[in-house]
Chain A
Amino acid sequence: MMQAWPSIQGLRSKAAWALAAAIGLGLGAFGLLVASELIAYRAVFTRAEGQNDLKNELRVAQGAYLAKLGNCAACHSSRGGAPFAGGKAIHTPFGAVFASNITPDRLHGIGNWSADAFYRALHHGVSADGRLLTPAFPYPNYTQISRADSDALYAYFQYGVSAVAQPNQPSELRFPFNTQLALAAWRVLFFTPREVEIAPDSIASRAVLERDEIEKDVKSEAPSKLGQGFTRSPENGSERDAEGALWLRGRYLVNGLAHCSACHAARNVLGAADSSGLFAGALMPMQDWYAPSLHDPKQAGVQHWPRQQVVALLKNGVTEGASALGPMAEVVAKSTQHWRDEDLQATAAYLQRLPLQSLREIKPEAPSPQALAHGGALYVQHCATCHGQQGQGMQQLDAWGQQGVVQIPSLAGNRAVSLPSSANLVRIILAGGYAPSTAGNPKPYGMPPFVHVLTDTDIAAVTTYIRASWGNTAAPVSASEVVAHRRGVLQ
């Protein structure tokens, strides 16, 4: 909104002139930065000398594993489509973007990209032809990937993936979000490329360094220090050093390839992570699931868990007191269940050291007696046969059950039940779901969908009842919340 021009008297005022000058300078500087973003990147296609070094089996295998770490397939492979051929729609509040073809096809894929161009795409979020990419591709996370890991990924996508001639679908972003100018402005405000010490953090670089160190050791008399990998305990036996190394690797993974903050960070109106932190938890825009806070032990913080339980959740998809459902089921199914144990340990080490942050305790309003009575009756009718009369769940094994794997989660004291947002609870009741089928939990139990059985009032009542029973003390759920989530389920 334009304010009224200052009056003649005001214009004469020095303060007004100073303010106008400051605003003008600020806008001018901003404009310069945006302009520099627009012209900073030119097309880079020529393949560098020595690039064929990347065409070796070790690199390709490392790249394949890194692609699992980064879960590239979750966006770049569409259901039933060829791997990494793109086409999947990613819905944002600004319109839909479509994942690109990253197979080595020369016309539609990245077949004519150089390793430099690939690294620039990850590090700067710029395509090989110089176009700025939308941050639906999480380059604010991928900027932290080391050059060595980028080269391994490049090797995999060039030499380990079959070329598919599938054209890329242009995005359906609304004006002005579909312009390069808007992207440049966004980047000036919210994105800074980061350099990360390469060192032995990354798998590829570690393998390369170890190979180099072995050669050097063979040639020289004195063993070098670099070869002491961060995941081996140093010879002076300090467990703290080993734990520190694990933490560093975990930080590299969580903030980089695993891009956890892409879901777990609260986003501002322009879609950038806001100041509350990278893992503060948020309702995911468009997907309408709540990604819980990793800082808050009452949400999804794992600071007080045994290390192995964190590993088990990521590897198997279920553990005592938690199961991966909704979008997290995809993360476990396509990514974390395939991670090596050392990487799961590193991730757990980092997550367990995240600072504790709890939401301010607000006493929730008391649920109405009618809602509790109605919800209780519905619970007995529909839920108690599996979840137990006291919400205790079912831990017994059957012949199909995996030893020690939770079969049906308990609702009493279940963190997912008592989250600040009722979205997850309502959605799982509406659409049902299975935990992901993993090696540790190959035949999961399923939650049935109740979308056509229970009305909005019914679901509001039963969720209110569950959230207020057996020690749970979360806020009641209204029917209008359920209406909003029902629309998301049936899309």
Chain B
Amino acid sequence: MLFLMRFSRHALTRLFCRGGVRRLFGASSMVWVAICSPWHAAWAKNGPVRGVSTQNAIAQNGAKRLQACTTCHGAGEAATVGRSANEMYFPRIAGKPAAYLYNQLLHFRDGRRHYGLMVGLVEHQSDAALQDMARYFAQLDLPYPEPQPLAAGMTQTQLLRGRQLALRGDARVALPACVSCHGAALLGVEPAMPGLLGLPRDYIAGQIGAWQTGMRRAFAPDCMAQVAKKLSPEDVSAVAAWLSMQIVPAASRAEPAPLSSARSRTASLNHVSKPVRSSSAAGASVQPTAATLTCAE
């Protein structure tokens, strides 16, 4: 709980960028650019950021039109829009970064994620329709429910292991910490990196497992696939348990996109799936193809 607040991003960077680990997931902004850009590209190519009046329209019109989503992603019988029922499997979608939600809808429609109900719902929807769905849920600002109670049989050692993986990673296997991509407060980073708090334990474990087996894929470079394959089954349950029992602070939105990604965002509007990666501090832009982009930098 307070552990998160103690570790400023700067402190984490120093903790993290030691020795060989620096090469893997240094907290430099360039890496954020490299990682975030592919997902942002898919989002950005479909249109500019909308103005306030359109945002209001989205909020007004979405509620009824998108009630299809709340029987699963809402909470309990009242189905408050966007709240996740932690005792179930379905993840929270309210307040998640819009590009992340949009990408997941694309993945379900185009075969990179497999969940029968979701596939059946989105399989004949256009990109624009999916974008509107994503925008609607991204602009919701709803309180988080109480965290899940501790799983039976979970020991303090396992929880400490989960905390270590989340905050510091595992240098022995060159495993980056969750905070290195998902935000210092684990609440996500705009535009396309989701938060990890307030999710059901089984959902987190299920998704990591899906990445391990290839049942879930992301746009190239699929960094989570590499990360997931380094986790043992005990690690997966430890980190899922620790994440799911964290209390989410009251004001909890995803971090804004890192500063240097402004250039990448502009470039991404023009070049689909060719994210910019600054190759030097001077900022000379290179335009690699997606195939040459890697998670390590």
Contact = CB atoms under 8 A, between A and B. Distances in A.
Contact of B124 (A78, A431, A436, A453): A436
A375 interface: no
A329 B69 contact: no
Contacts of A80: 110-112
Nearest to B72: A449
B64 interface: yes
Interface stretch (B125-133, B164-172, B239-247, B254-262): B125-133
A465 B72 CA distance: 24
Given A386-B64, A437-B126, A448-B67, A431 B72 contact: no
A399 B61 contact: yes
A490 interface: yes
B142 to A, nearest CB: 18
Interface in B129-178: 129, 132
A448 B128 CA distance: 20
B129 A442 contact: yes
Contacts of B66: 446
A431 B117 contact: yes
A443 B65 contact: yes
B107 to A, nearest CB: 9
26 contacts: A79-B111, A80-B112, A332-B124, A386-B67, A399-B61, A400-B61, A400-B65, A400-B132, A431-B121, A432-B120, A432-B121, A434-B68, A434-B121, A434-B124, A436-B124, A436-B125, A437-B126, A442-B129, A445-B68, A448-B67, A449-B71, A449-B117, A449-B121, A450-B71, A452-B72, A491-B116
Contacts of B110: 79-80
Interface string B90-120: 0000000000000000000011100011011
Nearest to A435: B124
Interface in A391-406: 398-400
Contacts of B69: 446, 448
B218 interface: no
Contacts of B60: 398-399
A117 to B, nearest CB: 31
Interface string A431-469: 111101100001111111111110000000000000000
A444 B69 CA distance: 13
B57 interface: yes
B290 interface: no
B61 A437 contact: no
A307 to B, nearest CB: 25
Interface string A374-392: 0000000000011000000
B68 A437 contact: no
B68 to A, nearest CB: 3
Given A400-B61, A434-B68, A452-B72, 13 more contacts: A330-B123, A330-B124, A386-B64, A386-B67, A431-B117, A432-B120, A433-B121, A436-B125, A437-B125, A445-B65, A446-B65, A446-B66, A489-B116
Contact of A453 (B64, B71, B123): B71
Contacts of A386: 64, 67
B68 A329 contact: no
Contacts of A333: 123-124
A285 interface: no
Interface in A340-381: none
Interface in B29-76: 57, 60-61, 64-72
A489 B120 CA distance: 10
B231 interface: no
Contacts of B70: 448
B293 interface: no
Nearest to B109: A79
Nearest to B112: A80
Counting chain B CB atoms within 10 Å of each CB, the highest count among A80, A432, A448 belongs to: A448
Nearest to B63: A398
B122 interface: yes
Nearest to B62: A400
Given A80-B110, A452-B72, A442 B57 contact: no
A261 to B, nearest CB: 23
Nearest to B88: A452
Contacts of A444: 125, 129
B125 A434 contact: yes
Contacts of B64: 386, 398, 445
A443 B68 CA distance: 13
B116 A490 contact: yes
Contacts of B120: 431-433
A185 B68 CA distance: 48
Contacts of A385: 67
A78 B61 CA distance: 34
Nearest to A381: B77
A216 B252 CA distance: 76
A80 B64 CA distance: 30
A28 interface: no
Nearest to B130: A437
A24 interface: no
Contacts of A436: 124-125
A437 B117 contact: no
A167 interface: no
Contacts of A489: 116-117
A81 interface: yes
Contacts of B67: 385-386, 446, 448
A330 B129 CA distance: 16
B75 to A, nearest CB: 12
A432 B120 CA distance: 8
A148 to B, nearest CB: 32
Report the 5 A-B pairs with minimum CB-CB distance, sorted nearest first.
A80-B111, A446-B68, A333-B124, A436-B124, A79-B111
Nearest to B120: A431
Contact of B71 (A79, A437, A443, A448): A448
B272 to A, nearest CB: 18
A434 B117 CA distance: 12
Nearest to B65: A445
Nearest to B114: A79
Contact of B128 (A78, A79, A443, A446): A443
Interface string A48-83: 000000000000000000000000000000111100
Given A449-B71, A450-B71, A452-B72, A437 B129 contact: yes
A48 B163 CA distance: 70
A279 B74 CA distance: 41
Counting chain A CB atoms within 10 Å of each CB, the highest count among B57, B61, B88, B119 belongs to: B61
A399 B57 contact: yes
A400 B131 CA distance: 13
